[in-house]
A and B are shown apart, each in its own frame.
Chain A
Amino acid sequence: MKTVKNKEKREIKRAKELDKSEISEMKGKNQPFELDRRSVYKCVQCGTCRSFCPVFNVVGWESANTRGRMLIIKSLLEGRPPSEDVLPSLASCTTCGICAAKCPAGVNPPEVVEAARAQLVKCGITTEVQEKLRASVITSGNSFGEAKDLTHWLSETERSQLPEKSDYVYFVGCFDSYRYPEFAEKTFKVLQRFGVTLLPDEQCCASPLLRTGFREYAEKVMKHNLEQIRKVGAHTIITSCAGCYTTLKNNYPEELHVISLPEFLAEHLGELKLKKLDLTVTYHDPCHLGRHNKIYEAPRKVIQAICTLKEMKNIKENSRCCGGGGGVRIGYPDISLELARNRLEDVPECVDYIVTSCPLCVRNLRDAGGDIEVIDIVELVAMAME
């Protein structure tokens, strides 16, 4: 335990040094807190979000719901000096976006919260967990601080046979690579037959940095990945992680053609020659694939090509967050797991698996300890290909 803590401290120290030497960003407590005021003032404080915010449902304090967060951000805009006191509220949003889907006034709270987090970073107000995350990405190029590269799960032979140029590239992502390398292997095996290659030196997509407010650092890794994509000459990026998907699609400075693994699979169902399985499964919509990008039908099409789909109680736009996003899993693990347990209550009876298409969701729903196995959609596809 002590060694781990020392390692974390070393990483934070190194990141801080890098901060001084490589990033010219101005930081400090006297920096003004600035945001697009209209995006905040659109909120009429009606409280509709209060009924849907999954974090508030668990925590119970007003500061833990979207309206509370908007009020706190408003107070900062109106001159209240930013302090650590705002972090439990602003850092505990999973950015699941159900508030945006329900907001009658058309406010987009995840965007506002992320922008506010970036301002707090600028003012030098961050949690230790945030700093640790930043340190990991900056020092190792991935969100777990792993020394191995993101394609470590490839054999030497596979690595040597990777096409240097391809129209399609599989963006693996930190989670699949380091926590679920079996997902990465299975995904690559499926995609390989379509001539898909990997980036020679993929780094974290920048999602954890962007969600937690480290925009300047995020730009650095995004730039690196863009150079890698250019090197391969790919016109399409395929990703199996909902977090990577939304980041590559919506946050990268250049417009990229990004498709999610479920979309790619749905488009190529005929070529995959999947056999029917005698299974009934349910599907959990990851927030960053579903609500944020409206990808609802593709995963369902893939599942229904293989087996029976029995829907959860709340689906698609109304789907409940697993608690894994927005830096909440790492920052507030108890709240995060409580959200996952609440989500498991939506699972219908008599299903063999809970299928999803995001490794963060897989982990959180698995850790929540339900009776039904949680699998990634690629595992279901792999079963149908055996």
Chain B
Amino acid sequence: MDITAELRKIVGVRLSVSPSELYCYSSDASQVKGTPDYVVRPKSTEEVSRIVKLAYENEIPVTARGAGTGLAGGAVPIRGGIVLDMSGMNRILEIDIDNIQVVVEPGIIQDALNDALIPYGFFFPPNPGSSAMCTIGGMIAYNASGMRCVKYGTTRNYVRDLEVVLADGTVIHTGSKMLKSAAGYDLTQLIIGSEGTLGIVTKAGLKIAPLPKTRKLVIASFENAEIAGQAVVKTFSNGVIPSACEILDRVSLQVLKRYDPKLVLPSEGDVLLFEVDGTENSAREAAEQIIEVCSPLALSIKLAESETEMADIWAARKLVGAAVSRLDPTKTRIYVGEDVGVPIKKIPELLKRAQEISEKFNLPAMKYGHIGDGNLHLALFIDVLNKDEWDRLNQVADLIHRTAIELGGTVSSEHGIGAARAEYMKAQWGPAFEVMRAIKKALDPKGILNPGKLGL
């Protein structure tokens, strides 16, 4: 069968087999590579269904892709086949304030959704650092979260209903606008985080939340990251739940200051950023309590003085991951071992061991991340033209992953497994991994949906 001709019948000019185009779809922001044979940009559920059916009948791999901002190769077609670029399906279909929900297509950019919700006084809380470019579909596929998950939870907590195209092209809905249901398996939760291996999301019904009246930011610095970790544990055990709780080690601080010299950040130590939100009174009280609890451990601690100061710090924080080249133009950030997580109590130990591993291999690392939910982004950077540095990088990443599992944590807190972390799935899950395999086999018997991912 002439697959090109068949695909062209479905999507017309929104098909490409140009080698340059295919190359552009052969990677995301990770080191995983794989070139597709076809790229299509569907515009409707019907088109997706027809494409997947065609792929099913001809046993062609199908990999869905949003903005390609992933850090684990989830959207990379490592076995070739068809890439479905879903970013053109980017409409907001319904803003239903009475039910505090929205219905969107998967290609909508997270920030674009929130821009549309501001006039209503609502927002979609999960906010990854890539919110300016990542799609909601990608966030659902990888259960993305971000800085505010410590209070608001992850994408998983906001999805009410999904329209999904299954491996044979069948279209199903996994939920409804109901807040709760006791009718059978929760397929919505099964699809979230499944990385396109069980079905292709074509619509999503999402819960939204009212925008807080105010936000305040406490900036504290500590002698080292380990003490900062202790301060986080202490804050939580004192009953304060910040809306964000981030760590920036001293290397990250240097990078941020190079990125924006005007940023008001401490000049020494490792820094914690605590954001609290709510009403003016509740936010102020929470901020004061954090200052009281952390002061005995901190080198310095203060409240951000203005909205602008706060906004500038958050904007820079979102970009810190890629900004290391500004400190040293010969170094490039490589996203490996960047997303481990451990129970909050184990954070100081994770920070200590990460530092030891980095020193042992003589590979400097930035440590930043959502320390409030135990998620550490270890940012390794190397001279990409130096093979020895690549070797050391991969060894460090491997050890970091194994350390996280050993501490009862996860190899990925919010970026996903994709192909980059597939080898650790068995070690992390044990026999439960076989259940995942069984589910995959039941829903995708021919193995056409994003093959080679999740270690399945």
Q: A interface vs B, CB < 8 Å?
A: 37-38, 41-42, 44-48, 50-51, 60-63, 67-68, 71-72, 75, 80, 83, 85-86, 88-89, 103-107
Render B10-42 as a binary contact track against A, CB cut-off 8 A, 1 for contact. Answer: 000000101111011111110000000001010
Output the least CB separation between A210 and chain B (Å).
23
C-alpha gap A67/B70 in the complex (Å): 14
C-alpha gap A60/B16 in the complex (Å): 12
- B323 A47 Cβ-Cβ under 8 A: no
- A104 B319 Cβ-Cβ under 8 A: yes
Output the least CB separation between A132 and chain B (Å).
23
Q: B interface vs A, CB < 8 Å?
A: 16, 18-21, 23-29, 39, 41, 67-69, 85, 87-88, 109, 111, 130, 132-134, 259, 319-326, 329-330, 332-335, 384-385
- A62 B24 Cβ-Cβ under 8 A: yes
C-alpha gap A161/B377 in the complex (Å): 70
- B322 A105 Cβ-Cβ under 8 A: yes
Other A-B pairs beyond A71-B24, A85-B20, 13, CB < 8 Å = A38-B330, A41-B385, A45-B27, A45-B68, A47-B28, A47-B29, A47-B133, A61-B21, A62-B39, A71-B26, A72-B24, A75-B23, A107-B325
Chain A residues lying within 8 Å of B320, measured Cβ to Cβ, are 104
Q: Given that A63-B21, A63-B24 are contacting pairs, would A106 and B130 also be in contact in the complex, using a CB cutoff of 8 Å?
A: no
Q: Which residue of A41, A44, A47, A86 is within 8 Å of B67 (Cβ)?
A: A47
Chain B residues lying within 8 Å of A103, measured Cβ to Cβ, are 322
- A60 B332 Cβ-Cβ under 8 A: no
C-alpha gap A42/B319 in the complex (Å): 14
The chain B residue sitting closest to A41, CB to CB, is B384
The chain A residue sitting closest to B335, CB to CB, is A44
C-alpha gap A46/B319 in the complex (Å): 10
Q: Given that A72-B20, A104-B319, A105-B326 are contacting pairs, would A46 and B69 also be in contact in the complex, using a CB cutoff of 8 Å?
A: yes
C-alpha gap A103/B332 in the complex (Å): 13
- A47 B325 Cβ-Cβ under 8 A: no
- B319 A62 Cβ-Cβ under 8 A: no
C-alpha gap A41/B389 in the complex (Å): 15
Output the least CB separation between B50 and chain A (Å).
20
C-alpha gap A72/B25 in the complex (Å): 11
- B322 A48 Cβ-Cβ under 8 A: yes
Chain A residues lying within 8 Å of B323, measured Cβ to Cβ, are 104-106
Sampled A-B contacts (7; CB under 8 Å)? A37-B385, A41-B384, A46-B321, A48-B319, A62-B39, A104-B320, A104-B323
C-alpha gap A89/B21 in the complex (Å): 9
- B24 A51 Cβ-Cβ under 8 A: no
Find the residue from B16, B68, B321 having the highest chain A CB count within 10 A: B68
Q: Given that A85-B19, A104-B259, A106-B325 are contacting pairs, would A71 and B27 also be in contact in the complex, using a CB cutoff of 8 Å?
A: yes
C-alpha gap A4/B443 in the complex (Å): 61
- B133 A41 Cβ-Cβ under 8 A: no
Q: Which residue of B20, B25, B109, B333 is within 8 Å of A44 (Cβ)?
A: B333
- A41 B20 Cβ-Cβ under 8 A: no
Output the least CB separation between A134 and chain B (Å).
23
Chain B residues lying within 8 Å of A50, measured Cβ to Cβ, are 67-69, 133
- B332 A41 Cβ-Cβ under 8 A: yes
The chain A residue sitting closest to B28, CB to CB, is A45
- B329 A106 Cβ-Cβ under 8 A: yes
Q: Which residue of B16, B130, B326 is within 8 Å of A46 (Cβ)?
A: B130
C-alpha gap A175/B184 in the complex (Å): 69
Chain A residues lying within 8 Å of B332, measured Cβ to Cβ, are 41-42, 44, 105
- A61 B322 Cβ-Cβ under 8 A: no
Output the least CB separation between A308 and chain B (Å).
26
Chain B residues lying within 8 Å of A106, measured Cβ to Cβ, are 323, 325-326, 329
C-alpha gap A46/B132 in the complex (Å): 11
Chain A residues lying within 8 Å of B385, measured Cβ to Cβ, are 37-38, 41
Q: Given that A44-B332, A47-B67 are contacting pairs, would A72 and B23 also be in contact in the complex, using a CB cutoff of 8 Å?
A: yes
Q: Given that A85-B20, A104-B322 are contacting pairs, would A62 and B330 also be in contact in the complex, using a CB cutoff of 8 Å?
A: no
Find the residue from B23, B88, B111 having the highest chain A CB count within 10 A: B23
C-alpha gap A38/B21 in the complex (Å): 23
Output the least CB separation between A72 and chain B (Å).
5
Chain B residues lying within 8 Å of A46, measured Cβ to Cβ, are 29, 69, 130, 133, 321-322
Chain B residues lying within 8 Å of A68, measured Cβ to Cβ, are 24
C-alpha gap A38/B130 in the complex (Å): 24
The chain A residue sitting closest to B83, CB to CB, is A62
Output the least CB separation between B43 and chain A (Å).
10
C-alpha gap A195/B416 in the complex (Å): 67
- A44 B29 Cβ-Cβ under 8 A: yes
Chain A residues lying within 8 Å of B333, measured Cβ to Cβ, are 44, 105
- B384 A47 Cβ-Cβ under 8 A: no
- B18 A45 Cβ-Cβ under 8 A: no
- B29 A63 Cβ-Cβ under 8 A: no
C-alpha gap A45/B384 in the complex (Å): 14
The chain A residue sitting closest to B324, CB to CB, is A105
Output the least CB separation between B71 and chain A (Å).
9
Chain A residues lying within 8 Å of B259, measured Cβ to Cβ, are 104
Q: Given that A47-B130, A85-B19 are contacting pairs, would A61 and B24 also be in contact in the complex, using a CB cutoff of 8 Å?
A: yes
Q: Given that A38-B329, A46-B321, A106-B326 are contacting pairs, would A85 and B18 also be in contact in the complex, using a CB cutoff of 8 Å?
A: yes
C-alpha gap A85/B19 in the complex (Å): 7
Chain A residues lying within 8 Å of B85, measured Cβ to Cβ, are 62
C-alpha gap A47/B384 in the complex (Å): 19
- A42 B329 Cβ-Cβ under 8 A: yes
Output the least CB separation between A120 and chain B (Å).
12
Chain B residues lying within 8 Å of A51, measured Cβ to Cβ, are 109, 111, 132-133
Chain B residues lying within 8 Å of A80, measured Cβ to Cβ, are 23
Chain B residues lying within 8 Å of A44, measured Cβ to Cβ, are 29, 321-322, 325, 332-335
C-alpha gap A178/B111 in the complex (Å): 44
Q: Which 9 A-B pairs have the closest CB atoms?
A: A104-B319, A62-B24, A104-B322, A68-B24, A47-B69, A51-B133, A104-B323, A63-B24, A105-B325
Chain A residues lying within 8 Å of B26, measured Cβ to Cβ, are 71
Output the least CB separation between B232 and chain A (Å).
26
C-alpha gap A72/B111 in the complex (Å): 28
Output the least CB separation between A324 and chain B (Å).
25
C-alpha gap A309/B26 in the complex (Å): 47
C-alpha gap A62/B330 in the complex (Å): 27
- A63 B321 Cβ-Cβ under 8 A: no
Chain B residues lying within 8 Å of A37, measured Cβ to Cβ, are 385
C-alpha gap A228/B326 in the complex (Å): 40
C-alpha gap A85/B111 in the complex (Å): 33
C-alpha gap A137/B326 in the complex (Å): 39
Output the least CB separation between B376 and chain A (Å).
19
Output the least CB separation between A84 and chain B (Å).
10
- B18 A48 Cβ-Cβ under 8 A: no
C-alpha gap A45/B23 in the complex (Å): 13
Q: Which residue of B20, B69, B130, B325 is within 8 Å of A86 (Cβ)?
A: B20
Chain A residues lying within 8 Å of B325, measured Cβ to Cβ, are 42, 44, 105-107
C-alpha gap A47/B70 in the complex (Å): 9
Q: Given that A62-B85, A105-B322 are contacting pairs, would A89 and B20 also be in contact in the complex, using a CB cutoff of 8 Å?
A: yes
Output the least CB separation between A163 and chain B (Å).
46
The chain B residue sitting closest to A72, CB to CB, is B20
C-alpha gap A195/B254 in the complex (Å): 51
C-alpha gap A88/B132 in the complex (Å): 26
